[in-house]
Amino acid sequence: MSNIRKANSIMTFHGPAQYAHQLLSRAVDTLATAPGDVRSRLLQAYSGFHPLTPDHFPEPLRKDFEWVIKQLTKREPYINNKGQVQKGSVQVTLEHMRNSSGVKIAEKLLQLHYAVDTYVNSR
């Protein structure tokens, strides 16, 4: 089997989980190094991992990812009288969130990253 074919079979096998791993790696970097409190870092991290869906994760990790998204989108977006979104639901949620709640979400993202890393690198 050629190296390209091996690489393609590995990418196909790990596709969604590998993608989740890449985006969560960036999110964890942002959470660790970006300026501001944890809520502002979560907003920046979310902008990087928002394309992920539960289907990108191995089955046992999907509920944890869904919990993160639920926590980050508890509030409705601010919509002006013209029907335009002024602030998205994540931004509004984070503006009303306690820092301690933001820390719990950041911890869950770190745990998810470790779990996906183990899954991707154990194959």
Distance CA 91, CA 29 (A): 20
pLDDT tens-digit map of 103-112? 999 999 999 9
Q: Reply yes or no on whether the pLDDT at 96 is more than 50.
A: yes
Contact 52, 20 (CB under 8 A): yes
The pLDDT of residue 14:
54
State pTM to two decimals.
Answer: 0.85
pLDDT digits (tens, 9 = 90+) for 24-69: 999 999 999 999 999 999 999 999 999 999 999 999 999 999 999 9
Percent above pLDDT 70 for the chain: 88
Q: What is the DSSP string of the chain?
A: --HHHHHHHHHHHHHHHHHHHHHHHHHHHHHHHSSS-HHHHHHHHHHHHTT--GGGS-GGGHHHHHHHHHHHT-SPPEE-TTS-EEE-HHHHHHHTS-HHHHHHHHHHHHHHHHHHHHHHHT-
Pairwise CA distance, residues 56 & 87, whole Å: 27
* CB contact at 8 A, 99 and 39: yes
